[in-house]
Chain A
Amino acid sequence: MGLVMADDAKGRNVLAAILYRGRWWLVTGALLVAFTLWTAEFHQAQTTAILASTLRHSTPLVLGALCGMLGERSGVINIGIEGQMLMSAWAGFMVASATGDLLTGVVAGVAVGMLMGAVLAGISVGLRGDQIIAGTVLNIAAIGITSFFFTQGRTLPSGKIQPIRLGPLADLPVAGRVLFSNKPITYLTLLLVPVVWFGLFRTTWGLRTRAVGEHPSAAETVGISVVGMRYLNLILGGGIAGLAGAYLSLEAVGSFERGMTNGKGFVALAVMIFGRWNPVGAWGAALLFGYASAVQTQFQFRDWLTSDPQFVGMIPFVVTIVVLAGFVGRARPPASIGQPYSRE
């Protein structure tokens, strides 16, 4: 009897904690939903466009955040996501352009991302170098390499990746266009969020990753290889960032442009922090950022407020600043991030 009551109390506490901790989310989410419903009332097409655009804008941010998360959960800060994405976008495009096969391009992008992850791991884990500098190296190298080897005028012979309509679901009003007629990497991203969450919090790999990121020497004394786990996570994360790069060049734009990542790798870091190093949280955060970008695009598209286009263009960045200023201080990163690990 006592036990049952204790369990019950515990259950209520958990609910209360979720409500308390998640109150910002609830308020923000409720406001956005109300606003969307209100606009949908008199302008359904535009609402649908904004929501679909939200999802598109959020995709590279979620992937970038997942990449950063795998690194940081195992104790390595990755500020080179931007560079990993850019290199992969370039490599994916070049390979797809040369072979004419989009899937080969995507695979090449992911492979290059993993290679970039391995380089980051080699510098920051293998050589115990400064993690911030290692990430900066990736970013600078990516800008240089992609600019130098990029040939103007290349195109994708097969065009960019096309949407897949999920049968009758795609015909639903609003949701059909927003959720069920997307392109493959967007679907894959929606799948990766729960997969990475499950991996981090329900598998032995995730437990070990988190242990290594919080207290590496504790992990080492129970026989977990800290260096091995960090290499693994950075390479996996690099692959996810590579997917984000392939998304940009092969799925979203259909070509490569110099510096086309345009800061998304850094916004992804903000998304990761705002999402408290949790895939589901990061997904929610990415949607918020994606929404801000989508609204901005719509404003420009509709020629609203055209007298001051700079102000409209600011929207996503203002959201970033406000959110980070309000939240970063309260989020708690894995304890050992930034510190190179050595056994003695």
Chain B
Amino acid sequence: MIQVSAATPALEAIGIHKRFGRVVANDDVNLRVEKGRIHALLGENGAGKSTLVNILFGLYRADRGEVRVAGEVVELNRPRDAIDRGIGMVHQHFQLVPVLTVAENVVLGDEPSHSHTVLNVGAAKRAVQELGERYGLEVDPEAVVEDLPVGTQQRVEILRSLYRRADVLILDEPTAVLTPQETDQLLEVLRGLADQGVAIVFITHKLREVLAIADEVTVMRDGQVVGSTTPGETDEAGLAEMMVGRSVVLRVSKAPASPAATVLRVNDLCVDDDRGLRAVDELSLEVRAGEILGVAGVEGNGQRELVEAVTGLRSVVSGIVEMDGHNITGLSPRQISELGMAHIPENREKHGLVGAHSVADNLVLNQYYRAPFARRGFRQMDTVTEYSRSLVAAYDIRTPDVSTPARALSGGNKQKTIAAREFSHGARLLVAAQPTRGIDVGSIEFVHQQLIDQRDRGLAVLLISAELDEILSLSDRIGVIYRGRLVVVTDASDLDRIRIGRIMTTGSHDTPAT
């Protein structure tokens, strides 16, 4: 073992260069991570953060530059090299095997065994339990990973690194998939790990989290480190400006709503989930033209089923969905779309876009079959191209060409593509589920502004989001969904973060008697 002096950083990257084809992803990047400290790596999507940590974890090889672990220059050619050096990584897309148990996932690759052959399942379970108790990460070792909520799966990922004795833990956008409550729990766990001496690299583009948890901050933009600071020296606006390179509007400014006639009316709606369990339970709501109704709630409380039922993607058990006074319950998604409903789905990769198709085809996905995009069953490709070029320009979609496959776009540009399509067919109602999940600050700003603009033009908006800030800054009225029921619907001004958070987790808006 090497003696580590207090001044030696746990992990150091010096002069890292990496290019992919003509794109320079990392340009002379330096990073210094100290033992027992939480180091936030901040930057927009495409700034080069993921490239850097993938180099640190041995997934990519740097073209130039060196990596030092505890002062020693190391060669990291594959993840195994990094793991053996005590570097652990929690990937943005979890690297867990869904059908295996927690214990199996944690020990996979370094299994405790009898004579290197027969699995020692008992030892694996004990290891998970002991690590869990030691670091405050209790998870049932026998649970099957796919049955666990996302936040718990993430704990399993962390446990897996700790099991391999990681003393540097890299987390790639760990909060992108978490609810506010899960985020708070994660930050607490990370603080605990740092107190026990683990060095933590925390990648994010959420400013609040950086200020809440980081000891040091390194900001990246366009493949370069543009600055280092500490939360004490800066604030949200300062960080945002460093990250984007210009000042950013963090709070959307909006005029008071002037709601008109009711567009969407949902009455006593009951919907079952995939397993046949009641997910939406006698839920009623109304959205009027020119207002945004925000539905807050911890994920898994029936939001997905509600959205799918309203948009015609899931069959309804009982109850009525009406749009502009017409009963649309049981109509097909296309019929509903033609009646004037726009939908920004929660999972943009899976339900929002056809990844292999061009940006142009994706922009006409809800109209390709009818005039002017098709005549007598033949597609009018010139019209499609022309139309999609105009949308690409109007919505500032960054793509080499409209013929580029949609999956090649960044998250933010994918979302802009969906927004452009859904805002451009004369819809009366927009159902937007998690519209800014996992996209960069610049795109969030854009999507938020679009939602407000569309509202001001008289669109009725049903916004479902797990981001409390998003609900609070956009909504005119707020409802909280809890176990398939809408617990409270009230003017946005009546609620604050703390009260909504309490209703989200307890289902009750009474102050608990403590």
Chain B residues in 8 Å Cβ range of A204: 111, 113, 116-119
Chain B residues whose CB sits within 8 angstroms of the CB of A335 once the complex forms: 98-99
* Structural contact, B79 and A214, CB atoms closer than 8 A: no
Closest chain B residue, CB of each to CB of A198: B118
- In angstroms, Cα B67 to Cα A338, docked, is 37
Q: Which residues of A are found within 8 Å of B111, using beta-carbon distances?
A: 204, 207
Assuming the contacts A219-B109, A223-B83, asked whether A202 and B98 have C-beta atoms less than 8 A apart, the reply is no
The docked-state distance in angstroms from the alpha carbon of A218 to that of B113 is: 20
Can you name the residue of chain A whose Cβ is closest to the Cβ of B106?
A: A222
Quote the shortest CB–CB distance from B124 to chain A (angstroms).
Answer: 10
Q: How far is the CB of A332 from chain B (nearest CB, A)?
A: 8
* Residue A220, interface by CB 8 Å: yes
Q: Is there contact, CB below 8 Å, between B108 and A207?
A: yes
Q: Is the CB of B95 within 8 A of A214?
A: no
The yes or no answer to B165 lying at the interface (CB within 8 A) is no
Tell which of B59, B60, B105, B108 touches A224, judged by Cβ atoms closer than 8 Å: B108
Tally chain A residues at the interface, Cβ within 8 Å: 21
Which residues from B are CB-within-8-Å of A219? 97, 108-109
Interface residues of B in 428-477 (CB under 8 A from A): none
Q: How far is the CA of A141 from the CA of B240 in the complex (A)?
A: 63
Q: Which residues of A contact B109 (CB under 8 A)?
A: 208, 219, 222-224
Residues of B within 8 A of A13 (CB): none
Is B119's CB under 8 angstroms from A207's CB?
Answer: yes
B49: Cβ under 8 A from any A Cβ = no
Say if the beta carbon of A114 comes within 8 Å of chain B. Answer: no
The winner among A204, A335, A344 for most chain B CB atoms within 10 A is: A204
Contact indicator B118/A211 (Cβ below 8 Å):
no
* A210 cross-chain contacts in B, Cβ below 8 A: 97, 99-100
Task: Please determine whether B97 and A214 come into contact, CB atoms closer than 8 angstroms.
Answer: yes
The listed residue with most B CB atoms (<10 A of its CB), out of A202, A223, A335, is A223
Residues of A close to B108: CB separation below 8 A: 207-208, 211, 218-219, 222, 224
In the complex, A344→B77 CA distance in Å? 13
Smallest CB separation, B356 vs chain A (Å): 15
**Proximity bits, B96-128, A CB within 8 Å = 1, else 0:** 111110001100111101001111000000000
User: In the complex, A206→B98 CA distance in Å?
Assistant: 16
Beta-carbon contacts under 8 Å, B314-348 to A: none
Q: How far is the CA of A263 from the CA of B374 in the complex (A)?
A: 48
- Closest chain A residue, CB of each to CB of B118: A203
| A-side contacts of B160, CB under 8 Å | 222
Q: Does B80 contact A (CB under 8 A)?
A: yes
Given A202-B118, A205-B117, A211-B108, A222 contacting B79 (CB threshold 8 A) = yes
Interface of A is mostly: helix
Question: Pick the contact of B79 from A207, A211, A223 — CB < 8 Å?
Answer: A223
For the complex, is B89 an interface residue (Cβ under 8 Å from A)? yes
Among B59, B91, B96, B99, the most chain A Cβ lie within 10 Å of the Cβ of B99
A contact residues around B96 at 8 Å (CB): 215, 218
Please name all residues of chain B whose beta carbon is closer than 8 Å to the beta carbon of A208 when the two chains form the complex: 108-109
- A17 to chain B minimum Cβ distance, whole angstroms, is 13
Q: Is A217 an interface residue (CB 8 A)?
A: yes
Size of the B side of the interface (Cβ < 8 Å), in residues, is 27
Does the CB pair B95–A218 fall under 8 Å?
yes
| A211 engages B100 (CB within 8 Å) | yes
User: Separation in Å of the B56 CB from the closest CB of chain A?
Assistant: 13
Distance A220 CA – B59 CA, assembled complex (angstroms): 10
Nearest B-chain residue to A10, judged by Cβ = B142
| Interface status of A262 (Cβ within 8 A of chain B) | no
Considering only residues 60-91 of chain B, those with a C-beta below 8 Å from chain A are 60, 78-80, 83, 89, 91
Q: Report how far A214 CA is from B109 CA in the complex, Å.
A: 15
- Give the residues in chain B near A310, CB-CB below 8 Å: none
How far, in whole Å, are A208 and B97 apart by their CA atoms in the complex?
A: 10
Which residues in A have their C-beta under 8 angstroms from that of B79? Answer: 220-223
Asked if B116 and A218 sit within 8 Å, CB to CB, the answer is no
Q: Which chain B residue shows the least CB distance to A215? A: B97
Chain A residues closer than 8 Å to B80, beta-carbon distance: 222-223
A133-173, CB < 8 A from B: none
Interchain nearest-CB distance for B47 vs A (Å): 20
How far does the alpha carbon of A203 sit from the alpha carbon of B98 in the complex, in Å? 19
User: What are the residues of chain A within 8 A of B110 when measuring CB–CB?
Assistant: 222-223
* Cα–Cα, bound, A217→B118 (Å): 24
Expressed in whole angstroms, the Cα–Cα distance for A204 and B112 within the complex equals 9
Bound-state CA distance A15–B109 (Å) is 31
Task: Give the docked Cα–Cα distance between A214 and B99 (Å).
Answer: 8
Chain A 219-231 against B: per-residue CB contact (8 Å), 1 yes, 0 no? 1111110000000
Given A203-B118, A210-B97, 11 more contacts at CB 8 Å? A202-B118, A207-B111, A208-B109, A211-B97, A215-B98, A218-B95, A218-B96, A218-B97, A219-B97, A221-B79, A222-B160
Interface positions of A (Cβ within 8 A of B): 202-208, 210-211, 214-215, 217-224, 335, 344
Q: 6 closest pairs, A vs B, by CB?
A: A222-B109, A223-B80, A218-B95, A204-B111, A215-B97, A221-B79
A-B contact pairs, 21 of them (CB 8 A): A202-B119, A203-B117, A203-B118, A204-B113, A204-B117, A207-B100, A214-B100, A215-B95, A215-B98, A217-B95, A218-B105, A219-B109, A220-B79, A221-B91, A222-B83, A222-B95, A222-B108, A222-B109, A222-B160, A223-B110, A335-B99
